[in-house]
Chains A and B, each alone.
Chain A
Amino acid sequence: MIFSKKLKNYYKIIGGIKIKWKFGKIVLFSLAVTILISSTAIAGEVKIIRTLSTTEPVANSEFAVTLNVSGTDVAGIVESIPEGFSYIGTSHPETQTSQSKQKIFFSVIGETEITYRVKAPLSGGGAFTGTWYDPLDKTEGVIANTDVIVKSNYSSKSNYSSKSEAQPQEPESKNTPFLSTVAMIAIIGLSAYCLRDY
Chain B
Amino acid sequence: MNTTVKRRLFVGILLCFLISLRICVASAAIPGDLNNDNMISRAELSDAIISYMKFTYAGESVKCLEKDMLRETARKHFTITVTDLAGREVTVPTRVERVVLGQSLYIQEFAALEGENFTEKIVGWGSELETYDMDTYNEYLKKYPEIENIPTVGSLNKNTFDTEAIISLNPDLVIMPLMMKDIAQKSTENLENAGIPVLFVDFWKDPLENTQKSILVMGQVLGREKRAEDISRFYGEQMDKVIQS
Question: Do the beta carbons of B57 and A95 come within 8 Å of each other?
Answer: no
Question: Do the beta carbons of A133 and B57 come within 8 Å of each other?
Answer: yes
In the complex, which residues of chain B have a beta carbon less than 8 angstroms from the beta carbon of A96?
42, 46, 50
In the complex, which residues of chain B have a beta carbon less than 8 angstroms from the beta carbon of A136?
71, 74-75, 95
In the complex, which residues of chain A have a beta carbon less than 8 angstroms from the beta carbon of B49?
74-76, 107, 109, 133, 135
Which residue of A is nearest B56, CB measured? A133
Question: Do the beta carbons of A74 and B52 come within 8 Å of each other?
Answer: no
Question: Do the beta carbons of B70 and A135 come within 8 Å of each other?
Answer: yes
Question: Do the beta carbons of B54 and A109 come within 8 Å of each other?
Answer: no
Question: Do the beta carbons of A105 and B53 come within 8 Å of each other?
Answer: yes
B74's partner among A93, A95, A98, A135 (CB-CB below 8 A) is A135
In the complex, which residues of chain A have a beta carbon less than 8 angstroms from the beta carbon of B95?
136
Question: Do the beta carbons of A105 and B50 come within 8 Å of each other?
Answer: yes
Question: Do the beta carbons of B78 and A74 come within 8 Å of each other?
Answer: yes
Tell me, yes or no, whether B122 is within 8 Å of chain A by CB.
Answer: no
A77-B43 in contact given A100-B58, A135-B71, A136-B75 (Cβ < 8 Å)? no
Taking the nearest CB of chain B, how far is it from the CB of A76, in angstroms? 4
In the complex, which residues of chain A have a beta carbon less than 8 angstroms from the beta carbon of B45?
74, 107, 109
A interface footprint on B70-102 (CB within 8 Å = 1, 0 otherwise): 110111011000000000000000010000000
Question: Do the beta carbons of A138 and B67 come within 8 Å of each other?
Answer: yes
Q: How many residues of A are in contact with the other chain, CB < 8 A?
A: 21
In the complex, which residues of chain B have a beta carbon less than 8 angstroms from the beta carbon of A109?
42, 45-46, 49, 77
| Best-buried of A74, A75, A95, A138 by chain B (most CB within 10 Å) | A74
B interface footprint on A39-61 (CB within 8 Å = 1, 0 otherwise): 00000000000000000000000
A77's partner among B53, B70, B71, B74 (CB-CB below 8 A) is B53
Residues of A125-171 contacting chain B, CB below 8 A = 131, 133, 135-136, 138
Question: Do the beta carbons of A98 and B78 come within 8 Å of each other?
Answer: no
A95-B46 in contact given A76-B53, A135-B74 (Cβ < 8 Å)? yes
Question: Do the beta carbons of B78 and A95 come within 8 Å of each other?
Answer: no
Tell me, yes or no, whether A78 is within 8 Å of chain B by CB.
Answer: yes
A107's partner among B50, B56, B60 (CB-CB below 8 A) is B50
Question: Do the beta carbons of B50 and A76 come within 8 Å of each other?
Answer: yes
A74-B50 in contact given A95-B43, A109-B45, A138-B71 (Cβ < 8 Å)? no
Question: Do the beta carbons of A95 and B71 come within 8 Å of each other?
Answer: no
Give Cα distance in the complex from A73 to B49, angstroms: 13
29 residue pairs A–B, Cβ–Cβ below 8 Å:
A73-B78, A74-B49, A74-B77, A75-B49, A76-B49, A76-B52, A93-B46, A96-B42, A96-B46, A98-B50, A100-B58, A105-B54, A106-B50, A107-B50, A109-B42, A109-B45, A109-B46, A109-B49, A109-B77, A131-B57, A133-B49, A135-B52, A135-B67, A135-B70, A136-B71, A136-B74, A136-B75, A136-B95, A138-B71
User: Measuring CB to CB, which residues of chain A are less than 8 angstroms from any residue of chain B?
Assistant: 73-78, 93, 95-96, 98, 100, 103, 105-107, 109, 131, 133, 135-136, 138
